Structure 1
Amino acid sequence: MDDPTAAREFYSRLLGWEVHDSPPEAGGYLMAMRGGRPAAGIGPKMGDGPMPSVWTTYFAADDVDAIAAAVTSAGGTVYAPPFDVMDVGRMCVAADTDGAVFGVWQAKAHTGAGIFDEPGAYCWNELHTNRFDDAKQFYLSVFGWSYKSVSDTDRFRYATFSTPGSADDAGGLMDSTTMPGETPSYWLTWFQTADTDTSLDTARELGASVLMGPEDSPFGRMGIVQGPQGEVFGLIDTTRTVGEPPTG
């Protein structure tokens, strides 16, 4: 973020986070807590070059150096080579073959998010990609994911992915070329809310823009928000569903 202090105020009021300072050696990084458990991190941008404010999706790894090497072998780009973050973990920042940026985290003292699938916490991460088949192959090569097709039509192409050894859905991939408009490929983080309409109204009051919604869907009532610093994220009430999931 350009202004982590402003982000602290925005997300505390929007998602009910308690945002704590980290030690001085953490470089201004803030830890967001919900119900006493880590929900997310807010930090200043790394490096001197221009970059947008974003929510970065992080994937857990047993060996971040091996994953960074796999990213390069699969045709991706490693923007920040693996480095240690004090005693809490080791990480890198990379992008897939179409430029969608993600992080990789090898846990030490900090294992990552301790709360999810609850109001005020993240509940889903999905890749919006302009190269759907290439993306599936890339993440299979790097992380060993398996996929389940939700819909495979010219109007809507979407698949969920699972990590090795698990049958549970961990996130999704959407073919952006089936949707109106043109955008770069990117990872979108969704936060759960108990009331989408109220959360969208609150986001507006706090200076954000609502890019989509509220809309009902088979997965919940949802909206997409651009925060005051330009970061885009989703809000969804997964308890309020309308219709049946698409098939095809």
Structure 2
Amino acid sequence: MTETHARHRPGTPCWVSLMVHGLTATQDFYGSLFGWEFEPGPRQLGPYARALLDGHEVAGIGQLPPDRHLPIAWTPYFASHDVDLTAETVRLCGGTIGVGPLDADEAGRLAIGSDPSGAVFGVWQAARHLGTALTGVPGTPAWNELLTFESASVAKFYETVFAFEEEPVVDADSDSDYVTLRVDGRPVAGIQGVGHALPRDRGPHWLTYFEVADTDEAADRLTDLGGHVLKGPHDTPHGRVATVSDPEGARFCLVQSPR
């Protein structure tokens, strides 16, 4: 179990947030699935709650205005010491900024943008709220991965904006197109080029992996709660993984890390 109280290094994924239509029903779903409890958060973008695990903040869930018909999706936020400068770099590198930069009470300053392929991500400049305060236990974000057409050009965008180091993953057994993004030599996120295997209704998007104690059991519980299993539990070099969606259609992965 890792508690993180220090300010995150720039470029490090520091928070994940989900905007939905039914806030109460979504809280009930994730509360039952991951054991989360909720407390009110900043309301700059409408009703918003922070999810807590054993008293530690791990994620956020907010309510979309009724007139906003955006894809329901978990969005990773990357740490920045200057969100206004990062937002300007996003624009200069061919991305767009859809929200902000704006202050979220005393918690910090945020922007929400998209990369040149259209995948949405957030930028967080911490003040009082440093981000996810617990990792490495069931119910916490474990990894963020971008599913896109091809990795090379979009990896250059993220490297320029967040000063990531890039490490292409060479797998002798496959022609997989995968890049690992690193901060200070440490892997922090991945980019998977899947060509035309992207879901037609989704386009390029970030996918959050949440740690669970038992992937098969969690996938069964998720189905009982009204979620859907999109790709059943299977073993990978990084643990046992299932790709799933919540009742409103937000996709995410369950991962049982190797013990």
Of 121, 124, 131, the residue aligned with 1:112 is 131
Aligned to 1:243: none
What CA distance in whole angstroms lies between the structure 1 residues aligned with 2:28 and 2:250?
Answer: 15
Answer yes or no: is the 8 Å Cα contact 2:46–2:64 preserved in 1: no
Q: Look up the SS of the partner of 1:137 in the other structure.
A: helix
What CA distance in whole angstroms lies between the structure 1 residues aligned with 2:134 and 2:250?
Answer: 21
Instruction: Kindly tell me the number of residue pairs found equivalent between the two proteins.
Output: 238
Of 160, 168, 193, the residue aligned with 2:186 is 168
Letter in 1 for 2:180: T
What CA distance in whole angstroms lies between the structure 1 residues aligned with 2:69 and 2:197?
Answer: 28
- Deviations along 1:118-175, one digit per CA (max 9) or x if unpaired, are 2110000011111311111101111111111223677311121112xx1111011111
Structure-2 change in CA distance of 1:18 and 1:49 (3 Å): closer
Q: Look up the SS of the partner of 1:48 in the other structure.
A: coil
- Deviations along 1:196-231, one digit per CA (max 9) or x if unpaired, are 000000000000110001111111111011110110
Of 186, 195, 204, the residue aligned with 2:223 is 204
Q: CA deviation at 1:28?
A: 1.7
Aligned to 1:134: 153
Q: CA deviation at 1:18?
A: 1.1
Q: CA RMSD in A?
A: 2.0
Does residue 87 in structure 1 map to residue 106 in structure 2? Answer: yes
Q: Look up the SS of the partner of 2:58 in the other structure.
A: strand
Q: CA deviation at 1:23?
A: 6.8
What CA distance in whole angstroms lies between the structure 1 residues aligned with 2:220 and 2:213?
Answer: 13
Aligned to 2:46: 27
What CA distance in whole angstroms lies between the structure 2 residues aligned with 1:178 and 1:158?
Answer: 15
Letter in 1 for 2:149: N
Aligned to 1:123: 142
Q: CA deviation at 1:21?
A: 2.8
Does residue 102 in structure 1 map to residue 125 in structure 2? Answer: no
Which protein has the bigger strand share? 2
Identity of aligned residues (%): 37
What CA distance in whole angstroms lies between the structure 2 residues aligned with 1:82 and 1:60?
Answer: 13
Structure-2 change in CA distance of 1:90 and 1:109 (3 Å): same
Does residue 233 in structure 1 map to residue 232 in structure 2? Answer: no
**Structure 2: stretches of 5+ with no match in the other structure:** 1-19
Q: Look up the SS of the partner of 1:125 in the other structure.
A: strand
What CA distance in whole angstroms lies between the structure 1 residues aligned with 2:170 and 2:65?
Answer: 37
Q: Look up the SS of the partner of 2:206 in the other structure.
A: strand
Structure-2 change in CA distance of 1:47 and 1:88 (3 Å): farther
What CA distance in whole angstroms lies between the structure 1 residues aligned with 2:210 and 2:34?
Answer: 8
Of 20, 31, 36, the residue aligned with 1:17 is 36
What CA distance in whole angstroms lies between the structure 1 residues aligned with 2:71 and 2:117?
Answer: 17
Q: Look up the SS of the partner of 1:215 in the other structure.
A: strand
Normalising by the residue count of structure 2, what TM-score does the alignment of the two structures yield? 0.86
Q: Look up the SS of the partner of 2:143 in the other structure.
A: strand
What CA distance in whole angstroms lies between the structure 2 residues aligned with 1:119 and 1:52?
Answer: 26
Answer yes or no: is the 8 Å Cα contact 2:155–2:179 preserved in 1: no
Structure-2 change in CA distance of 1:179 and 1:19 (3 Å): same
Structure-2 change in CA distance of 1:228 and 1:147 (3 Å): same
Q: Look up the SS of the partner of 1:50 in the other structure.
A: coil
